[in-house]
Amino acid sequence: MEVKANSFIEQIKTKIEQFFANLQLTSHDLIRYVSCFGIGFVSGLVIKRYGKYLIIVMIGIILLLSVLSYFDFIIVNQVKIKTMLGFQASATFDSMVHGLLSQAKTNFLEFGIMLLGCLLGFKFG
């Protein structure tokens, strides 16, 4: 009985491997797509449940930093922030948006899967 169970499991395993080989997907690709979907789904849940609070907190932080910077209590180094986010020091807002859109075009499938996960998380959250 155990031999039949092992052979049945092996048959299922080979069929799954053949299916992914026909789609030209490796296990790394599948893990990347599933993780993109999961990240998008969790993001959608968080946005649905805590979206208004996140927006209020972000606006409050930006206002607080602006006021503290205006009165010279702190210095906001925008060059360091841009380089930390992966942009050039001389990048403008337009060039940063263009760079983000080009990355979305390059990784279209991952971006689409993440967006689908976010929409489903927002709907079911």
In the chain, where the domains are located: 2-124
Return the structure tokens found at 76: 């906001």
* Per-position DSSP letters for 7-49, written without gaps between them: HHHHHHHHHHHHHHHHTT--HHHHHHHHHHHHHHHHHHHHHHH
Quick check: 44 and 120 in contact, CB under 8 A?
yes
Q: List CB contacts of 87: < 8 A, sequence separation 6 or more.
A: 95, 96, 99
Q: How confident is the model at residue 3 (pLDDT cuts 50, 70, 90)?
A: low
**Span 40-93, pLDDT tens digits:** 999 999 999 999 999 999 999 999 999 999 999 999 888 898 899 888 888 888
> pTM score, two decimals?
0.67
Looking at residue 36, its amino acid is C
Rounded Cα–Cα distance for residues 94 and 35 (Å): 30
* Per-position DSSP letters for 107-118, written without gaps between them: THHHHHHHHHHH
